[in-house]
């Protein structure tokens, strides 16, 4: 297995764990409850464990996308934390677009509980943390 694939697997898993911890802690900081695995499972009418598998698979796929596609585009940014923030924001925007598309396709999309603005901010924070972790696990 190549080093880049190993970096993607490890970075994607650790980044997804970090993001998940942020979402678990979100209600303690005044943010609404956020759970990507619950949302994915609920949307598709599948058991929650399938949502968890999907959540981690998506995390690994985004890490692969960073290592093989996006990393080259961010060469001008020398600070790894800044690269992670940019990567996290890119993923956040992509995720929001995908949620809109999936909401139009799947009518069983759970409605958010609480402030949409706080949910979006919490989601962006989680994605930025994920992005930073993935970048830190990749080689410069």
For the cut 70, the answer to whether the pLDDT of residue 86 exceeds it is yes
For the cut 80, the answer to whether the pLDDT of residue 124 exceeds it is yes
- Pick the residue with more confidence: 5 or 109? 5
- b/e per residue 23-55 (b: at least 16 CB within 10 A): beebeeeebbebbbbebbbbbeeeeeeebbebb
- The pLDDT assigned to 40 comes to 85
pLDDT tens per residue, range 42-75? 888 899 999 999 999 999 999 999 999 999 999 8
- The pLDDT assigned to 91 comes to 96
| DSSP character at residue 111 | P
Q: What is the DSSP string of 9-45?
A: HHHHHHHHHHHHHHHHHGGGGTPPP--HHHHHHHHHT
- The pLDDT assigned to 64 comes to 94
pTM of the model: 0.89
For the chain, what are the domain ranges? 3-137
- The pLDDT assigned to 49 comes to 95
pLDDT tens per residue, range 99-118? 888 777 766 666 666 777 88
CB neighbourhood size of 124 (10 A): 17
For the cut 60, the answer to whether the pLDDT of residue 140 exceeds it is no
């Amino acid at each position: 297995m190549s080093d880049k694939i190993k970096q993607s697997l490890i970075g994607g898993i650790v980044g997804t764990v970090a993001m998940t911890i942020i979402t678990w802690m979100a209600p303690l900081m005044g943010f609404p409850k956020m759970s990507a695995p619950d949302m994915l499972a609920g949307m598709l009418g599948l058991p929650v464990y399938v949502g968890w598998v999907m959540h981690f698979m998506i995390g690994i796929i985004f890490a692969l996308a960073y290592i093989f596609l996006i990393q080259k585009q961010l060469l001008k940014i020398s600070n790894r934390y800044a690269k992670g923030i940019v990567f996290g924001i890119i993923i956040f925007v992509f995720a929001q677009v995908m949620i809109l598309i999936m909401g139009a396709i799947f009518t069983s999309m759970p409605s958010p509980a609480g402030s949409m603005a706080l949910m979006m901010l919490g989601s962006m924070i989680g994605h930025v943390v994920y992005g930073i972790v993935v970048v830190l696990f990749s080689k410069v």
